[in-house]
Structure 1
Amino acid sequence: MRNKDKKTIVLTGGHAATAALATIEVLKHDANVEWDIYWAGTAKAMEGKRVRTLESEVFPKMGIKWIDIPAGRLQRKFTRHSIASLTKVPFGFARSIKELLRVKPDIVLSFGGFIGLPVVVAARLLSIPVILHEQTVEVGLANKISSYFVNLSVLSRHASQKHFNKKYSVVVGNPVMSSVLRVKTKKSIGSPAAVFVTGGSRGASVINETIFSALKELVNKYKVIHQTGAIDYEKAKRLQDSLPSSTRPNYEPISLIHPLEISKVYSKADLVIGRSGANTVSEIAAINRPAIFIPIPWVRYDEQRKNAQLAVREGFAVLLEQAELTPDKLVKEIERVVVNWGRMAKIRPESEFNVDRDAASNLVELVKKHAK
């Protein structure tokens, strides 16, 4: 048996845990290359709060070597934490230079965002090949800047190609974990229907509060699986305890779902309610479940709304604006999806999202092509 080539890769980026996990799966099972894998990221999810990023919680336990990068970013509102955040920018760049010199990677793969930007720029200055993966339909500021420093921009959707140099960009789709790809399409809706509510790994307080207000009505009709995030979990548990014994089993609050366990929840779900980040939309498209998407309204380039609009055009989603989100409105939208479940949950052979099924493998092939 031929010995595998040995190469080192540094992965980086923000809010890309599941796309990165799908890529890491392929790297770890590469038949020709033995990859030494590092993740350059930040442990703190939000300035001023003791909430850890999903990457810092999950990746070290998987044997991925952690590089801590002080990450500075422009915040939507100026707060007492804004100055501290901005001062981290030069420190993040300096740390990136230092760590890349130490690790000596053959290539850097960035999944974008403000966390990945200093690593990308540092790699370029050190003549290390860099690939950028863009998950969203609309490119964010950090990725737009990063694109000028990379060897290749790898895109998920054709719509985003207008933001990149076509000579140095290619569309391969958005990587989806193999466990999610194995979730079977449901032939019929459950009785009662299972509604999975998620605001992402850290939860979404606006969605949580709406669910809390509508909870008594919802559990009379549906099984509600509610991923709250750490901040609202204790409140959710108290509400569960306050429900009548007859409906209490219909509410299952969960603080955090490990990404490698999310497929088990998807298998139970008949429909999904959540934000419309690129990875969430790709996963729901892959499992053929109807969804109600509530885009984050303050994202700079409105990429979540555009992700949701693509899902609506594909026929498996409803877009509910946060400004219109009320308990009554959400209950009505759930009822509408349940009525149209058969049409919305069907397999779509011509879906633009189908490219995601091979995206991780195709991305790794590009990584191998561009590595030193």
Structure 2
Amino acid sequence: MTKKTICFTGGGSAGHVTPNIAIINELDHQEWNIKYIGSKKGIEKELITKINIPYHEISSGKLRRYVDFENVKDIFRVLRGCLEARKILKKMRPNLVFSKGGFVSVPVIVAARSLGIPIFIHESDMTPGLANKISQRFATKIFTSFEETEKFFPKNQTRAIGSPIRKEILNGSPEQGRRFLGFHHKLPVLTIMGGSLGAKKINEAVRESIHDLTSKYQIVHLCGKGNVDQSLIGLPGYKQFEYIHEELPDILAVTDTVLTRGGSNAIFEFLALKIPMLIIPLSKAQSRGDQILNAKSFEEKGYSLTLEEESLTKESLKQTLEKLEKNRAQFKETMAKSVQGQAIKLILEEIAKIK
């Protein structure tokens, strides 16, 4: 049987790459040649080369929503990226390009359209990122994580399916997680995730409350690079890590409650795992506000509670966690009724139709 070729693209943050990896891991490698086009210095290069997928570099600019002289330079970088992507795709001759967004994806999609290659895109957040706003006019099919997002795209091309979730996240071992952490069974486990770089205000609020929190929970604190508090090393019931990779599924398997940012990929994973969430989204001062909308949607559906970063204090953290614990059974019951978790299956079905 002649193999077909699929080319993935997307980058700029882990959130634009890990869903692609989740799909790549489920594709039949006997049926598909799998390639990746990304930027020269983005996080996607590190993540994709680690799983031994052929990686092709192109020039890419940053899609800014504000006036900056760098925008002029980036016009030329994007144009160069389009030419480089077209040359790569012409040689690669893929049957399909699949994009998760991010600024590097735009030149790839423009080039693919010029060559008549089918294009699938997936939008994780409630409102489209700038890359996918541009890319939608070239796409063959568009997938979204949220039903609310469908209205931003052409109706006949768009389908809400949830977020592609890494299978390994769902297969952790609570016994191995407890052993790795050195935790017992007497107190529940609270896992705190502030994003890949950590979250200064979340770290501060947690550590100000640490003695109160450790009287009620055993805590796993993923605090970001360079953010380990040396004075708290060895505190019973409190484990700090800059970041976690291989052990994360086991840690989540033993987690009873999670405190998280509002990134779409992460909260859909916690939903699939049925872990009640306290979401502290990035503020509008730090982002375009997509995490606030993500958190609002999940709270309205009964999956989580939201605490705005501007309102985050030692006392508000304590009160919101108490409210979450008081209604734990209701949150878990509502999450159990969710039909999320089928995104990869549905995407693979659509990919299989490509000739």
With normalisation by structure 2, the TM-score equals: 0.85
How much does 1:43 deviate?
Answer: 5.7
Among residues 336, 340, 348, which one is paired with 1:364 in the alignment? 348
Could you tell me which residue of structure 2 aligns to residue 222 of structure 1? 217
Q: Deviations over 1:277-330 (max 9, x none)?
A: 111111111111111111122376532122111211222211111111223322
Matched, 1:269 2:255: yes
Could you tell me which residue of structure 2 aligns to residue 197 of structure 1? 192
- Contact 2:303/2:334 (<8 A) preserved: no
The whole-number CA distance in structure 2 between the counterparts of 1:86 and 1:202 is 29
1:105-116 → structure 2 map (5 Å cutoff):
105-116=94-105
What letter is aligned with 2:25? E
1:1-372 → structure 2 map (5 Å cutoff):
3=1, 5-14=2-11, 15-27=15-27, 29=28, 34-42=31-39, 44=41, 53=43, 55-75=44-64, 88-182=77-171, 191-232=186-227, 236-241=228-233, 248-258=235-245, 261-298=247-284, 302-346=289-333, 348-351=335-338, 354=339, 356-370=340-354, 372=355
What letter is aligned with 2:238? Y
- Contact 2:63/2:130 (<8 A) preserved: no
Q: CA RMSD in A?
A: 2.8
- Contact 1:212/1:239 (<8 A) preserved: no
How much does 1:197 deviate?
Answer: 0.9
Q: Deviations over 1:5-33 (max 9, x none)?
A: 41221111132333222211211x46xx5
Q: Deviations over 1:211-266 (max 9, x none)?
A: 3333343334321111122242xxx151333xxx5xx13221222222x5432121
The whole-number CA distance in structure 1 between the counterparts of 2:190 and 2:170 is 20
How much does 1:120 deviate?
Answer: 0.9
- Contact 1:138/1:302 (<8 A) preserved: no
- Contact 1:73/1:86 (<8 A) preserved: no
Name the SS for the 1:230 alignment partner.
coil
The whole-number CA distance in structure 1 between the counterparts of 2:333 and 2:194 is 25
Q: Which has the higher contact order (CA 8 A, sep 6+)?
A: 1
The whole-number CA distance in structure 2 between the counterparts of 1:123 and 1:291 is 39
How much does 1:158 deviate?
Answer: 2.1
The whole-number CA distance in structure 2 between the counterparts of 1:35 and 1:101 is 18
- Contact 1:139/1:301 (<8 A) preserved: no
The whole-number CA distance in structure 2 between the counterparts of 1:255 and 1:77 is 32
Q: Deviations over 1:151-202 (max 9, x none)?
A: 11122222111111112222333211222334699xxx96322111112233
What letter is aligned with 1:332? Q
Could you tell me which residue of structure 2 aligns to residue 48 of structure 1? none
What letter is aligned with 1:272? V
The whole-number CA distance in structure 1 between the counterparts of 2:40 and 2:240 is 25
Which ranges in structure 1 are unaligned for 5 or more consecutive residues?
46-52
Aligned residues, how many?
A: 342
